[in-house]
Amino acid sequence: MDRDLDPQLKVGFIGAGNMAFGIAKGILPGKVLPENVTVSAPSSRNLERFQELGIAVTHSNEEVVCGSQVVFVAVKPHLVPSVLSEVCRHVTDGHVIVSVAAGVTLATLEELLPENSAVIRLMPNLPCVVQEGALLFARGTHATPEAGALIRSLLHHCGLVEEGPEAWIDIHTGLSGSGVAFVYLFAEALAEGAVKMGMPGVLAQSISSQTVLGAGRLLRDSGKHPAQLRSEVCTPGGTTIHGLHALEQGGLRAAVMSAVESATVRARELGLRPAAATRK
């Protein structure tokens, strides 16, 4: 898919946190050259790792916008109004503005930017760093299907990239953004169970990590429903069904569903109301 990208496409990031780094690292294996990527942050604390990738860094958000065609706004949600107010006058019809700020709606973004701006709301997750992310995006009123295709191609190497209605973005945050941490907690618990039964901690953690990785790949690549794969592991009276019984007694299924619900609700709470912005 990346073959359709302009080799001279200029990409910018406002914000240098983990999400920006994950996306930046993910797009470089494609046709985006490091010298065509610029990242800004108010301090130098997180910029060194971008420089190690050959990416240009700056403290000027305006410099990023002026020198880029696709701009990822990767700052904390409460900083979005001030950042967009700062760069608003430099945004043109040639820009695609992509926000990865949790909870900030397309309506808010469009209100803060010049009229007819092409805006996309994107929710990636941390495994973008290893090109195994799960990303969902929604297009704003003035973002064309071509802009969506551009973003899909640009992010192709980051992992699974899907488009959907904005209503799904907060759900995706709870499912995949926060869900990564839920999987880590489960992996930690798996290893601790093995330690309890007498296995050395380092070995238990290594085997737990590989178990999660292998199970995930099999689930993704087989196309089978999780319940089907689970049933294939179980044998009558065997070890797995006894373990699954213990998990059901502990309420694992309900707890995970509640965790996704809680994270989704919180993502919605982070949403900002459309602010009165002066278009420039």
Final residue belonging to a domain, choices 141, 169, 197 = 169
Whole-prediction pTM:
0.86
Task: Tell me what pLDDT residue 30 has.
Answer: 64
Tell whether 13 is covered by a domain. Answer: yes
pLDDT at 278 over 70: no
- The domain that contains 251 carries what CATH number? 1.10.3730.10
- Confidence class for position 129, pLDDT limits 50, 70, 90: confident
> Is residue 90 located within the same domain as residue 46?
yes
> Is residue 145 located within the same domain as residue 259?
no
pLDDT digits (tens, 9 = 90+) for 59-102: 999 999 999 999 999 999 889 999 999 999 999 999 999 999 98
> Is residue 61 located within the same domain as residue 186?
no
> Is residue 158 located within the same domain as residue 188?
no
Structural domain harbouring 253: 179-267
Tell whether 275 is covered by a domain. Answer: no
- Contact (CB, 8 A) for 170 and 138: no
- Confidence class for position 264, pLDDT limits 50, 70, 90: very high
- Contact (CB, 8 A) for 37 and 14: no
> Is residue 236 located within the same domain as residue 123?
no
- Contact (CB, 8 A) for 191 and 42: no
> Is residue 183 located within the same domain as residue 94?
no
Which residues belong to the annotated binding site for NADPH?
A: 61
The count of domains in the chain is: 2
> Is residue 66 located within the same domain as residue 95?
yes
Task: Tell me what pLDDT residue 154 has.
Answer: 93
Tell whether 174 is covered by a domain. Answer: no
Q: Cα torsion at 140, 143, 146, 151 (round to 10°)? A: -60
Final residue belonging to a domain, choices 114, 141, 169 = 169
Residue 103: what are its φ and ψ, rounded to 5°?
A: 85, -10
- Confidence class for position 269, pLDDT limits 50, 70, 90: confident
> Is residue 219 located within the same domain as residue 139?
no
Which residues belong to the annotated binding site?
A: 14-19, 61, 74-77
- Confidence class for position 4, pLDDT limits 50, 70, 90: low
pLDDT digits (tens, 9 = 90+) for 212-236: 999 999 999 999 999 999 999 999 9
Tell whether 238 is covered by a domain. Answer: yes
Which residues belong to the annotated binding site for NADP(+)?
A: 14-19, 74-77
pLDDT at 166 over 60: yes
> Is residue 200 located within the same domain as residue 160?
no
> Is residue 183 located within the same domain as residue 162?
no
**Which residues touch 272 (CB under 8 Å, ≥6 apart)?**
77, 78, 80, 81, 103, 104, 105, 108
Final residue belonging to a domain, choices 169, 188, 204 = 169
> Is residue 149 located within the same domain as residue 233?
no
User: Measured between alpha carbons, how far is 77 from 104 in angstroms, rounded to an integer?
Assistant: 6
> Is residue 116 located within the same domain as residue 26?
yes
Tell whether 146 is covered by a domain. Answer: yes
C-alpha count within 13 angstroms, C-beta hemisphere, residue 16: 23
Task: Tell me what pLDDT residue 26 has.
Answer: 86
